[in-house]
Amino acid sequence: MKVLVLNGPNLGRLDIRDSSIYGDMTYPALVSHIEGAAKTHGFDADVRQSNDEAEIIGWLHEAADTNTPVIINPAAFTHYSYAIRDAAELVKAPLIEVHLSNPLAREEFRHTSVISGVANGTIGGFGPNSYVLALIALKALVA
């Protein structure tokens, strides 16, 4: 089964971000980590990253039209993109929000997610393994 894994702004630059928050994995290594874990759990992961809100919305529309499950790390869009939230709500297959860091352990403005209210669940704070945990949860949701 295909799963669409969407990553928001600045995640493509993990190698130069604050390693105390985001770890020291490069984005290509993160993609490999996700793809390997997906295969282990019976999924074919289509991993994408964009800094463009409109492109992420288009990908969510694609998932809605094809009934494809989604794992999404909206990054900074988590806190204010009602447009991404509305597009995520159109996805009727399971949708799981993930974060490398724990937003609730960070600045107060990061404590609010406009996405989590339309997601089946939210997983954060486990670094790259947040995606692995999301795949495990997704497997149970589609079973």
- Closest by CA position to 39, among listed 143, 141, 131: 131
**Average pLDDT of 67-80?**
94
pTM of the model: 0.92
**79 marked as part of a ligand binding site:** yes
- Closest by CA position to 97, among listed 2, 6, 35: 6
**73 marked as part of a ligand binding site:** yes
The total number of structural domains that make up the chain: 1
Give the relative orientation of helices 53-66 and 82-89 as an angle to the nearest 10 degrees.
10
99 is catalytic: yes
82 is catalytic: no
- Closest by CA position to 73, among listed 32, 23, 125: 125
Question: What CATH number has the domain bearing residue 48?
Answer: 3.40.50.9100
What's the token pair of residue 47?
């991993």
The per-residue pLDDT for range 84-133, each reduced to its tens digit, is 999 999 999 999 999 997 776 576 877 678 999 999 999 999 999 999 99
Residue 102 domain boundaries: 2-142
